Amino acid sequence: MTHHPLKLRNSATGETTAFIPRDWRLGAEDPRVRMYVCGPTVYDRAHIGNARPAVVFDVLFRLLRLVYGADRVDYVRNFTDVEDKINDRAAQLYPEMPPLEAIAKLTAETTEWYHQDMDALGVLRPTHEPRATGHIPGMVAMIETLVASGHAYEAEGHVLFSVDSYPDYGKLSGRSVEDMIAGARVEVAPYKKNPMDFVLWKPSTPEQPGWDSPWGRGRPGWHIECSAMSKELLGEDFDIHGGGADLMFPHHENEIAQSCCAAPDHGFAEVWLHNGMIRVDGKKMSKSLGNFFTAHDKLAEIPADVIRAILLNAHYRDELDWTEAVVEQARAILNRLNRLADRARRAGISPDADDPDVLEEVIERLSDDLDTYGALRALHRFAGEVLTRPDSDPEALQQVVDTAVFLGFGLSFAEGAGQGDAQDHDAVIAAACAKLDAARAAKDFATADALRALMNQAGLVVQTGKGGTTAERGADFDAAALEALR
């Protein structure tokens, strides 16, 4: 496979340039690609907006592993497991527990939910999944460095970062401090020297989770968490930092300020990538509009592969509008892929995980600033061509399943059912096709229509041509629904 040079658009510069990892440029002995992506704050079910960065950066992770080697990519995605929303929810749910135990109980459950949902969506587990509560000493040490160097100050039990001490503040989002004050919900507090100064450490009441520190018992601010975790797991310089566009300001702006001031000889992240937000039928997703839904809700209604295709069916930097038309587009893509996966299985072809034969045009599109939309279109076109060939050639089938699995699709043939189950299902499907043809031949159209309806309910793509009826597993294939055809 030809490896196209990977180009990425850096949010920090607005330029799209060739991506060459630091270690390769510097000729490191044990070179690694290092990527950090801001993960969820785990106090409830992940909403569909949380699933988009997980899926988008999962594709980048897969691409980097393909290009540089599966064991050469260090991908960190954190869990924010101490934060005021978490503290409040834990106190409500478990009032009898000490605060640290209460947040641990709540976040263990919500983290498990997140893993279940993301696993279902085909998201690979990152190399490291640190939790903020596991890195408090690193945060305290970084804050001490910032205080000692004059970039932070203590006031009324709080430690604040002094924005005036960092001339490049605002560079990532391209805003002046005046613009930021005007456009942001800045927490006004009398002890701040500048309204934009942000909290690195804050005091905790006895009812709130807290840790001992040089400034008394307290807890970290949100921004310092990612800086400390990325430093510990990736070093003070790394290749890529990703997250949703909503995190660019203030979260990522603040991470840069505190990390660069804590280690002035280092540059922190080299390339910044931001995915666009999700809208629903053209409107911002919000609970008040009633168009807010969780990944869990959607997984109960729509096959996981279809949801994954929806999340990839737009350029990652663009807003994604979740509409019924977009759902149907994704379903059409997965119908094609599943039908070909079904043919591949019957031909004894399975995906090659170690050396996948990924479609050249898909790699080309992904190498151009992670154009998942273009990659999906290319695969959809190719699958359409292969479907029209009367005898699908093994090489083309191998390419389709390898490319689909590389993009993170589970495909119905690859799911839990063992080979014996699949062969039993084949026999049921073949018998149903034969019954349908017999009913048509006998002009018993009522029986034929009833059979076709049952086959459609089982998620089969049914086609009747000169040679008779064929049925292949589609995106909505449901093995349990085959029972009605026995």
Q: For residue 82, with 0-12 CB atoms within 10 Å meaning exposed, 13-18 middle and 19 or more buried, which class applies? A: buried
Percent of the chain with pLDDT over 70: 96
Q: For residue 329, with 0-12 CB atoms within 10 Å meaning exposed, 13-18 middle and 19 or more buried, which class applies? A: middle
For the chain, what is the mean pLDDT?
94
Is 470 a residue whose pLDDT tops 70? yes
Give the count of beta carbons closer than 10 Å to the beta carbon of residue 209.
23
> Strands 73-77, 237-244: parallel, antiparallel or unpaired by DSSP?
unpaired
Q: Give helix 136-148 / helix 222-234 axis angle, nearest 10°.
A: 100
**pLDDT, average across residues 96-103:** 96
- Long-range contacts made by residues 142-149, C-beta under 8 angstroms, separation at least 24? 142/224, 142/227, 142/228, 142/231, 142/258, 142/262, 143/200, 143/201, 143/213, 143/220, 143/224, 144/214, 145/262, 146/200, 146/258, 146/261, 146/262, 149/261, 149/262, 149/264
Is 210 a residue whose pLDDT tops 50? yes
DSSP letters for 200-253: EEEE--TTS--B--TT-SEEE-HHHHHHHHHHHHH-SEEEEEEEEGGGIIIIIH
Is 159 a residue whose pLDDT tops 80? yes
CB 59 within 8 A of CB 307: no
CATH number of 302-407: 1.10.730.10
The 10s digit of each residue's pLDDT in 389-447 is 877 799 999 999 999 999 999 986 544 445 568 888 999 999 999 999 999 999 999 99
Alpha-carbon distance values, 114 to 12, 120, 215 (Å): 29, 10, 34
Q: Name the H helices within 292-323.
A: 295-301, 304-312
pLDDT category of residue 43 using cuts at 50, 70 and 90: very high
Annotated binding site for Zn(2+): 38, 226, 251, 255
What CA–CA distance (Å, rounded) separates 391 from 404? 20
**pLDDT, average across residues 83-101:** 96
CB 308 within 8 A of CB 55: yes
Beta bridge partners of 279: 284, 321
Map out the domains of the chain as residue ranges. Answer: 7-279, 302-407, 419-485
pLDDT category of residue 185 using cuts at 50, 70 and 90: low
State the pLDDT at residue 6: 97
What CA–CA distance (Å, rounded) separates 269 from 234? 10
Q: Name the H helices within 122-217.
A: 136-148, 177-183
Indicate the pTM of the whole model: 0.95
Q: CA 71: distance to chain centroid?
A: 20
Annotated binding site: 38, 226, 251, 255, 287
Out of 52-66, 264-278, 377-391, least confident range: 377-391
Q: Where is mean pLDDT largest: 127-131, 280-284, 470-474?
A: 127-131
pLDDT category of residue 1 using cuts at 50, 70 and 90: very low
Q: For residue 301, with 0-12 CB atoms within 10 Å meaning exposed, 13-18 middle and 19 or more buried, which class applies? A: exposed
Beta strand spans in 366-474 (E): 460-465, 468-473
One-letter amino acid of 72: R
CB 62 within 8 A of CB 124: yes
CATH number of 7-279: 3.40.50.620
Is 476 a residue whose pLDDT tops 90? yes
Annotated binding site for ATP: 287
Q: Closest Cα partner for 343 from 421, 409, 426, 418?
A: 426
> Integer distance in angstroms from the first to the last C-alpha of the chain?
45
Identify whether 351 is preceded by a cis peptide bond (ω within 30 of 0): no
CB 199 within 8 A of CB 257: no
What CA–CA distance (Å, rounded) separates 469 from 448? 11
**pLDDT, average across residues 237-264:** 97
CB 292 within 8 A of CB 285: yes
> Strands 7-10, 15-18: parallel, antiparallel or unpaired by DSSP?
antiparallel
State the pLDDT at residue 181: 67
- Long-range contacts made by residues 461-469, C-beta under 8 angstroms, separation at least 24? 461/335, 461/339, 462/433, 462/436, 464/436, 464/437, 464/440, 468/433, 468/437, 469/433, 469/436, 469/437, 469/440
